[in-house]
Amino acid sequence: MERWSWPSGGAWLLVAARALLQLLRSDLRLGRPLLAVLALLAALDWLCQRLLPPPAALAVLAAAGWVALSRLARSPRLPVATRVVLITGCDTGFGKEAAKKLDAMGFMVLATVLDLDSSGSLELRACCSSRLKLLQLDLTKPEDISRVLEFTKAHTINSGLWGLVNNAGTNNVVANVELSSEATFRHCMEVNFFGTLELTRGLLPLLRRSSGRIVTLGSPAGDMPFPGLAAYGTSKAAMGLLMDSFSCELLPWGVKVSTIKPSCFKTESVLNVDYWEERKQLLLATMSQELLQDYGEDYVEHLHKAFLQSLSLAVADLSPVIDAITDALLAAQPRHRYYPGPGMGVMYFIHYYLPEALRRRFLQSFFNNPCLPRALRSGQPGPTPVQEAGQGPDLSPTPRVA
């Protein structure tokens, strides 16, 4: 083993030199991501010394270290100067916090809200500078979109529009596809896809002129089949593909497009237990007698209880998402995808690389004792765990709801 120590030492010397250079340039932070990379490199070093000849071990370890440090490197930031950014959905959550941070950085922020008199609107008026402008916008109303477009064009004649942050979104049901009405799917599509599409298309001339940025809040539910979130996830999947199309088509104009896919964060909409209770009661009231007989009211109750319990995993600190929005707007070379929040790397690794049965089991593990519909319980009166019944629907945790 000692004869293999020289590739390990040589590779670590290269990694250390690269890390030191990045630290001196301030494009690398000391923190958990760097420690995680070093731990993974140490494990890879152990494997390389036992499985590979010295030259190959040196090449693999050095390449892995170089790539990992490159991924951690922060792209140089552009100056804020007089840049203008429009953010949708600023009543609560990510939109409100992003508006506050970008305003503090010196951006001219055009913040759209559903209600100009909401608590979030009042908070933005109180804590932000006079540069921030509040605009009323309901993405399901073409007249609201037209008014925002006209205002933005009129107020960016001299400065131009640098960025659009598509944050506004909605989800109003947690239910199986069969239990979700067509109106639910249409509403999610109207807000999360069609409204965002119309606003983005209307602003493209301004964004092309400035070679600016489009930043969109997506969701892992748009990539993975989260049971209970089909309406929301379908709209986010459509939006994700649309943004990929924009990314290719706008590249010659210099417009950079980024999509942010956060884990579950404690935004106001996620924590509004009364809202989810109201939606559950409406779902039960509108279900047909046949569906109530086959699924059972206790199945819906159990699904919603499990959904609320899964939200205990939500992260209170919203700063990882706000930092991703800021980086996407100001980095000289922003990422095409951002995955802020703990566990996202593991979740996507499982989704893309493990067998389907393991993927389902992983998603199911986030729920407390998922159950079968009434018609599949073999006469049992109460909720029957899926594990005991042998098969049944997967019930997974929800990602962030905008």
pLDDT in tens, 234-287: 999 999 999 999 999 999 999 999 999 999 898 887 778 888 899 999 999 999
- 218 — pLDDT class (breaks 50, 70, 90): very high
Two structure tokens written together for 60: 């693999």
Q: Are residues 90 and 68 in the same domain?
A: no
Domain that holds residue 56: 2-72
For 300-331, the pLDDT digits (tens) are 998 888 888 877 778 889 999 999 999 999 99
Q: Are residues 68 and 92 in the same domain?
A: no
Note the pLDDT of residue 388: 39
Is 232 considered catalytic here?
A: yes
Note the pLDDT of residue 3: 43
Number of domains in the chain: 2
Mean pLDDT, range 2-12, rounded to an integer: 59
Mean confidence (pLDDT) of the chain? 85
Does the pLDDT of residue 61 top 60, yes or no? yes
Catalytic residue among 232, 299, 338, 339: 232
Residues whose CB falls within 8 Å of the CB of residue 76, separated by 6 or more in sequence, listed in order = 27, 331, 332
Choice between 11 and 79, residue whose per-residue pLDDT is larger:
79
Does the pLDDT of residue 354 top 90, yes or no? no
Would you say 169 and 221 are in contact if contact means Cβ atoms under 8 Å apart? no
Q: Are residues 125 and 64 in the same domain?
A: no
**pLDDT > 90: what percent of the chain?**
54
Q: Are residues 39 and 88 in the same domain?
A: no
With CA atoms as reference, report the closest residue to 216 among 205, 200, 231.
Answer: 200
Residue 195 forms part of a structural domain: yes
Residue 382 forms part of a structural domain: no
Q: Which long-range contacts (CB under 8 A, 24 or more apart) does 284-291 make?
A: 286/181, 287/179, 291/178, 291/179
- What does residue 114 show for φ and ψ, rounded to 5 degrees? -70, -35
Choice between 207 and 41, residue whose per-residue pLDDT is larger:
207
